[in-house]
Amino acid sequence: MKHSQTLVLGLRLCLICAVAALCLGLLNEVTEPAIVARKVQEEKDALAWLIPEGRPGEKVAVEGDAAVTAYYPVSVAGSSERYILDLRGAGYGGDMKILAAYMPDGTLLGAKLLDNQETPGLGKRAESPVYMDMFAGRGSAGAPVPASKEMLGSGGGEGAAGSSAAAESRGRFRFFPRGAAEGGTDAVSGATVTFLGVSRALAAGAAYVRREWGGS
């Protein structure tokens, strides 16, 4: 009798698992196209936002680079003088997808964090455009991308001038003094891994652009 009850219980559990798996499969089949479509639209919106005056060309895949997975040449006034890179950064929750726009000398014009699994209230702050403002204007050979909290908002000669130039050219950035509430060191407090993942990816992107199109 006891053996029979155990068998029945086992069959019931198997049936429940099978039904649950079927439901999850159906749910995934229904929602996956919508998720894919949303991600495609988010990328299109980011491309348009990064260089509003330009027109991105076809996406070109990049092989063998740990950070740069692809790039878009961007035509501005009829010539390709901007580049948007599809970057992969290592975040606290795993890989992060970042789109970043550069000048040929590696100067960062702007960046947008897309797919990520960072912590809400901490690493998720990097999704804000204000967060990426901290890196704008950096990336050329004389103005490296900030690689530590101490480098944020510290001026940096050419880097500070580059930041102002980028802000004026795009008319969208706001820059904050070191440690300000919305930018500087406070913006990365408690989310060092996210910050390092973003900064290293942006620095790798700048180096790639300089190497491919900036002559260095």
Q: Kindly report, residue by residue over 96-138, the tens digit of the pLDDT.
A: 999 999 999 999 999 999 988 888 878 888 888 888 888 999 9
Q: How far is CA 60 from the centre of its chain?
A: 18
pTM of the predicted model as reported, rounded to 2 decimal places? 0.73
CA–CA distance, 94 with 111 (Å, rounded to integer): 19
Checking if the pLDDT of 36 tops 80, the result is no
What are the pLDDT digits (tens) for 202-212?
999 999 999 99
* Distance, CA of 86 to CA of 158 (rounded, Å): 26
Q: Which of 53-67, 112-126, 172-186 has the lowest mean pLDDT?
A: 172-186
Q: Please give the single-letter amino acid code of residue 4.
A: S
- The residues facing 108 across adjacent strands are 102
**For residue 116, what pLDDT is reported?**
87
